[in-house]
């Protein structure tokens, strides 16, 4: 298992200023900083319904099936709790959450509506009516299964703090060697965590993962001497080839386990099993965070220090998560964090971003860059979720499109009207990476890195643009 996996699975782990001047949208200092830092980015910072977003008028609706896998009665979350979680997802992704107004002024200019919605599936893979909820009683007390003693011994031998992803990453070779020397493997640390996705291993088989977002709700606590200790609150895998995740950061064949898994007490609102996670992870945002991963987003601190980026231009650098372990810690106190310095100007850590580890009551936004990435994943590797073919042109105007999308080597262009066009390809940071003319309808993009790009065609009387993804 790659070291990134263990760090990324510690998602929302819990063992647990002065009044800013109100500014007009276009005057937000952070937005102006981004425009200065990344020339050209302004054209791609608008909401998804503007001229630069592909399929501009579409709200993407994703069918969801929730698999409730339970042992104890309290793990069998009610239909009402399931529906509350779907409501939370819709509010958060459409920026209709009641706390959207709490986004700090400095970041309001980059916060936006993703125009992505979720609904419980009404038809199962066989075409039969369904509630979109399945239930199974399992003999598994938890889907976190490993030798706690061996883990403790590894932590001592290697000097590892297993609550700190950076410590795990720095000592990975030592951890792996320790487990091998004791006749085990590092995979055994998280043995069973994906078993919830298999009926013959105590879980529930997924529905067609290309056409449904599968969410499993189960017990992910660690049994320590008979006591249930919260360990992993949720995890998810990104789309195959997601450009923000470096090659080798995820295990080969991981797509067979595609979907989202949530620890049952933090699923939905008013969950009676919340226990000592109340005040930290009781707003249903663990699921929002994990669905963000599912749609291609990394943690906003890039799972590293200030030298590591999450690949999204409009999320400021941070050297660590902002997780609060004490419910009494206020959002206002977290808002004072500024762990990395920007050139010329300093901006605080984006504590309110759903892809941080902050208290859930402090979370209230996705950035426009994150929105662009998620929508591009729904137009590429996850296109079938929203009823698009697996490979689809990003149509900006009838008759003008690029294909295939996503592409790895060549990009084909179909023009609505014959004529000469100046062609430019711009990356998500606003940098022009290709210039040419439309006397060719095929562009070699094999030299470009994985990621989201914008193609612009400028003619004498017309101009077109399309967004596409390079995925090798």
User: What structural domains and CATH numbers belong to the chain?
Assistant: 3-145+191-386 (3.40.390.10), 401-470 (2.60.40.3080)
Residue whose structure tokens are 């001592």 = 156
DSSP-assigned states of every residue in 262-321: EEGGGSSSS-TT-GGGTTTS-SSHHHHHHHHHHTTPPPTTTTSSTT---S-TTS---SS-
- Check if the beta carbon of residue 467 is closer than 8 Å to that of residue 404: no
Integer CA distances (angstroms), 103 to 181, 351, 361, 362, 364, in order: 50, 9, 11, 9, 7
pLDDT of residue 185: 63
Non-local (6+) Cβ contacts of 469 within 8 A are 243, 376, 377, 379, 380, 381, 405, 406, 407, 450, 451, 452, 453
Q: How far apart are the C-alpha atoms of 256 and 243, rounded to whole Å?
A: 19
pLDDT of residue 20: 26
Active site residue 384: no
DSSP-assigned states of every residue in 228-272: EEE---EEE-PPTT-TTSPTTSS-TTGGGG-SEEEEGGGSSSS-T
Torsion, CA 167, CA 173, CA 174, CA 176, rounded to 10:
110
Q: What is the pLDDT along the chain (472 residues), one digit of tens a residue?
A: 223 333 333 333 322 222 222 233 334 455 555 556 655 555 555 444 333 344 446 899 999 999 999 999 999 999 999 999 999 999 999 999 999 999 999 999 899 999 999 999 999 999 999 999 999 999 998 888 766 677 778 888 888 776 665 676 677 788 778 878 887 665 555 556 889 999 999 999 999 999 999 999 999 887 666 667 777 899 999 988 777 877 667 767 788 899 999 999 999 999 999 988 888 889 999 999 999 999 999 998 887 778 888 888 889 888 877 776 677 888 888 888 888 876 556 688 999 999 998 889 999 999 998 998 898 888 878 989 998 766 544 444 445 677 777 788 888 777 666 667 788 888 766 677 888 876 557 788 888 887 778 777 777 666 677 778 887 7
Alpha helices in 361-425 (DSSP H): 368-379
Q: How many CB atoms neighbour CB 178 within 10 A?
A: 21
Retrieve residue 457's tokens: 């065609």
pLDDT of residue 294: 96
- Check if the beta carbon of residue 452 is closer than 8 Å to that of residue 243: yes
> Which member of 290, 352, 379, 396 is catalytic?
290
Residue whose structure tokens are 């009516």 = 129
Instruction: Classify residue 11 by its DSSP letter.
Output: B
Q: Which of 428, 380, 433, 382 is CA-nearest to residue 402?
A: 380
- 353 DSSP β-pair partners: 365
């Amino acid at each position: 298992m790659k070291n990134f996996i263990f760090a990324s699975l510690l998602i929302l782990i819990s063992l647990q200023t002065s009044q800013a001047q109100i500014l007009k949208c276009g005057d937000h200092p952070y937005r102006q900083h981004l425009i200065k830092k990344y020339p050209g980015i302004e054209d791609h910072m608008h909401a998804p319904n503007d001229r630069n977003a592909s399929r501009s008028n579409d709200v993407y609706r994703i069918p969801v099936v929730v698999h409730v896998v339970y042992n104890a009665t309290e793990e069998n979350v009610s239909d009402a709790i399931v529906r509350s979680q779907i409501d939370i997802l819709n509010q958060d992704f459409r920026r209709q959450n009641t706390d959207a107004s709490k986004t700090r002024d400095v970041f309001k200019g980059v916060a936006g509506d993703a125009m992505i919605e979720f609904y419980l599936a009404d038809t199962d893979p066989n075409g039969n009516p369904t509630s979109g909820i399945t239930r199974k009683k399992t003999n598994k007390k938890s889907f976190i299964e490993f030798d706690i003693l061996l883990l403790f011994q590894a932590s001592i031998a290697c000097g590892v703090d297993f609550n700190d992803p950076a410590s795990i990453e720095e000592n990975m070779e030592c951890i792996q060697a320790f487990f091998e020397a004791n006749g085990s493997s590092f995979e055994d640390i998280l043995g069973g965590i994906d078993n919830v996705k298999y009926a013959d291993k105590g879980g529930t088989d997924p529905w067609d993962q290309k056409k449904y977002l599968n969410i499993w709700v189960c017990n992910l606590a660690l049994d320590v001497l008979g006591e249930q200790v919260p360990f992993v609150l949720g995890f998810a895998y990104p789309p195959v080839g997601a450009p923000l995740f470096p090659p080798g950061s995820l295990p080969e064949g991981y797509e067979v386990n595609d979907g989202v898994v949530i620890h049952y007490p933090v699923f939905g609102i008013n969950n009676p099993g919340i226990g000592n996670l109340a005040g930290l992870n009781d707003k249903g945002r663990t699921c929002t965070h994990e669905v963000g991963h599912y749609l291609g987003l990394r943690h906003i601190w890039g799972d590293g220090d200030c030298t590591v980026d999450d690949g999204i231009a409009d999320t400021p650098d941070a050297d660590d998560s902002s997780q609060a372990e004490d419910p009494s810690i206020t959002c206002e106190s977290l808002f004072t964090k500024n762990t990395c310095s920007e050139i010329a100007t300093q901006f605080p850590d984006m504590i309110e971003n759903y892809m941080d580890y902050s208290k859930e009551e402090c979370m209230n936004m996705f950035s426009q860059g994150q929105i662009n990435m998620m929508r591009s994943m729904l137009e590429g590797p996850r296109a079938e979720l929203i009823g698009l073919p697996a490979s689809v042109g990003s149509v900006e105007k009838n008759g003008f499109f690029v294909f295939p999308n996503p592409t790895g080597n060549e990009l084909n262009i179909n023009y609505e009207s014959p004529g000469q066009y100046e062609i430019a390809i711009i990356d998500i940071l606003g940098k022009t990476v290709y210039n040419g003319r439309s006397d060719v309808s095929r562009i070699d993009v094999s030299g470009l890195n994985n990621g989201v790009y914008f193609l612009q065609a400028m003619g004498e009387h017309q101009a077109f643009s399309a967004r596409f993804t390079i995925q090798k």
